[in-house]
Amino acid sequence: MFDLIVLTASNASQARGYRRELERRRASGALCAGTKFLVVPDPGGMRAGSLGATVNVLSKIGGVEGRRVLICHSGGDSRRTVGFSATGKSFIPLPSYSRGGDGLALFDLIVDTADSLPPRSGGEALVVSGDVLLTFDPSEVDFSRPGVSGVAYCDSLEQGSRHGVYVPGAPLGSGRACAVKGFLQKPGAAEAKQAGAVKSGKVAVDTGIMSIDAATCEKMVRRGWKTGDLYEDFTAELLGGFAPFSVNVVGECEFLHLGSNAELLDALTRHSRTTELRGFEIESRFLRDVAVEGRLKIRGHAVMERCFIGGGTVVDLAGDNIVTGIPESFRGILSLKKGECAAFLPVGKDGWRRIDYRVEDNFKEDGKWESLGMASLLKSVDHERIGEQLESIAVARRMHAEVVVSAPVRIDLAGGWSDTPPICFEMGGTVLNAAVTLDGCRPIEVRVKPINEHEVHVCSVDLGLRCTIRSMDEIRDHSDPRDWCALVKSALAVTDYDIAKGGLAVSICADLPKGSGMGTSSILGAATIAALDRVAGRPFDEQRVSSLTLALEREMSTGGGWQDQLGGLVPGVKILRSSKGADQRPEAEHVGRDAQEWLGRLFAERGLLYFTGQKRMARNILRKVLSFYAANPHGIAEIIVNALKENAERGFEAVKAMDAEGFADAVNSYWTDKKLLDPGSTNERVEEILEQMKDRISAAALAGAGGGGFMFLLARSAGDALAIRRELESRAPTETARFYDFSIDVRGLEVRDRYEV
């Protein structure tokens, strides 16, 4: 986490726009509460260059000693992407979304990437470019050397000829930071070879990232550069001895550079290596902050941002179009041929200026920037009106949006029951679990959409049942867990829904067997709460959703702990810990990317997930466990709960160490201790299966409370896994018993808005 994030701007008008964007994020809860944000324009509105802007920032913030500061240089004019000149390249939207459904911009992903880099002890200024997204492995970077450390990656001579190139003092691919011997700007092949930059046909291409230690920052302020470029003037000073200069050369890096209209259109509407690595949700038409009350027709690739298509208005796009800023007041027909683009800018108190251009236009070189007076025009843009425009669009969209929430289920690997009140109130809880997909799908989905009637139409897709709720009294009648609609009624109650303010269509689906032990009902409840919050305009809050899910289960009289909903809410493999006390606020610690990928491979090779066909209601087992805990004969229950928590810790450490046998031992111990807490955690049929397969398995446990449902097995080898599958498929203990393919889900619960346009 950064203590301070600073955006540089070229002038006061651009700075106002950036502050508005930051305020939007603060209002939605997207900004980290522990981080301060600052926008610093170049002094006097005169361009200072990246070196002058950096020193200006360092002077204003009083140095970086003991602090981690990110400086994102975002003071460009966006002349080659003129549709986004008013809001700046850093805030160009990308087809990426927060888990709560908020659309992300380039800035958000740049900050996320920068935060994944190792912090420098003693304080640092981490400098990045605000117009490029980099995708690489941050674990390859080491900022422990004094002075200034850059980041480069191995690529071809052709790629190096378009960027800065380091001349490192160690072979490329050595995997360690090394001193810099030289720095070249867009060198040709001959220049690069003569400088010694070429190693095995590759060069170290600059990413623009620089980590500057506190002592060097202080020295830069004393030196007092007012103008200059970091990657020409400052690198020359460093090579001349101003401060130690080193570089980290990572193996691979993907660039997403939004340098032109064509690059922007491709990045937002077409698949690429970066979109695959980043998990972008690519469609041929990219719409962000667009409200449609009139008619919109798109016949090819198109990008639209901040557009209000009012009633009676027709927008017809032939393809390869970029349209930004259509005001609510616009009426008539906007018809653009292939490759034509339009940008609308709010100028003054109530005026609008339309800029027409083509995808191939380059305002930086063709003179149009000057002929249209873009510099003075952008300084007169009213950024408060842009904010008002976005709010109007948001209100209109909420009236027509269908909120879709999807979620994985979870496997309880160790520590279950310690998360259940009153156990967790008195002892705190510790649980190791994994969010997983089944047969390549996320089994939980909830859809909620506003309707005109003052009633709630509820549909259960998996049960094939429907009901209509017409009063608040019906919503309050939700304490019978056998009522299939009780979960939705309880979710409406805990989110303070008022039927008098408008109706809803609610669709729920849990695509897996009932009584499965995969946390299904709790995760479905969490998904319903998250969807209702989104429709109500509340920002996504993981802690709120988790807490309200506990309240929902109390309303339904089913009881339960917090690990189920957090197992699906929070992505990946994690340990969840809470302190004792009535106010349970579990915190998640993840195993790390490398360890999670290792466990994913282990699951793919040796892991099995088997539905036993034995359905059971967790509520009945819960009552037995809590009765035993309350009686606590000879203090045994407390000893067992401590053992359950210790199993989770041992399993977590084993996964981090990529220790398969240590992980298996923790899971086995958990299964043994769980049966000690309640013998009903198992049954005769489950024990028969385990006895039959005991020579082929390293670990086994039922995935939830026990008594049936899903069984998790870790085979001794890939061959044993195949043999177990064949054996149980040929002699299934019940008609519904079957294996499910599963994999670790890295996304967790997600909220999305869907619109018909």
Under 8 Å between Cβ of 645 and 561: no
Do 444 and 509 form a contact (C-beta atoms < 8 A)? yes
Residue found under tokens 């299964």: 671
> What pLDDT, in 10s, does the model give residues 432-483?
999 999 999 999 999 999 999 999 999 999 999 999 999 999 999 877 767 8
Instruction: Inform me whether the pLDDT recorded for 755 exceeds 80.
Output: no
pLDDT in tens, 54-96: 999 999 999 899 999 999 999 888 889 999 999 999 999 999 9
CA pair distance 290, 194, nearest whole angstrom: 53
When pLDDT is averaged across residues 674-684 and rounded to a whole number, the result is: 85
Hey, what amino acid is at 234?
F
What integer pLDDT is reported at residue 621 of this predicted model?
73
209: nearest Cα among 247, 157, 240, 264: 247
The per-residue pLDDT of the chain, averaged, comes to 92
Supply the pTM of this predicted model. 0.86
Q: Please write the tens of the pLDDT for every residue from 575-608.
A: 999 999 998 999 999 998 889 999 999 999 999 9
pLDDT in tens, 634-652: 889 999 999 999 999 999 9
Virtual CA dihedral for 106, 111, 113, 115, nearest 10 degrees?
A: -170
| Pair of tokens at residue 504 | 């809803």
Buried b (16+ CB within 10 A) or exposed e, 611-642: bbbbbbbbbebbebbbebbeeeeeeebeebbe
Does residue 322 contact residue 264 with C-beta atoms inside 8 Å? yes
- Segment 704-727, tens digit of pLDDT: 776 678 999 999 999 999 999 999
Domain architecture of the chain: domains with CATH: 4-257 (3.90.550), 283-397 (no CATH), 402-581 (3.30.230.10), 593-744 (3.30.70.890)
Residue 533 has pLDDT above 90, yes or no: yes
What's residue 619's pLDDT?
Answer: 62
Residue 386 pLDDT greater than 80, yes or no: yes
Is the confidence at residue 617, as pLDDT, over 70? no
Percentage with pLDDT > 90 across the chain: 76
Residue 413 pLDDT greater than 90, yes or no: yes
Lowest mean pLDDT among 278-282, 303-307, 369-373, 705-709: 705-709
Q: Kindly report, residue by residue over 153-199, the tens digit of the pLDDT.
A: 999 999 889 899 999 988 776 667 899 999 999 999 999 999 999 98
Whether 119 has a pLDDT exceeding 90, the answer reads yes
Question: How many CB atoms sit inside 10 A of residue 97's CB?
Answer: 19
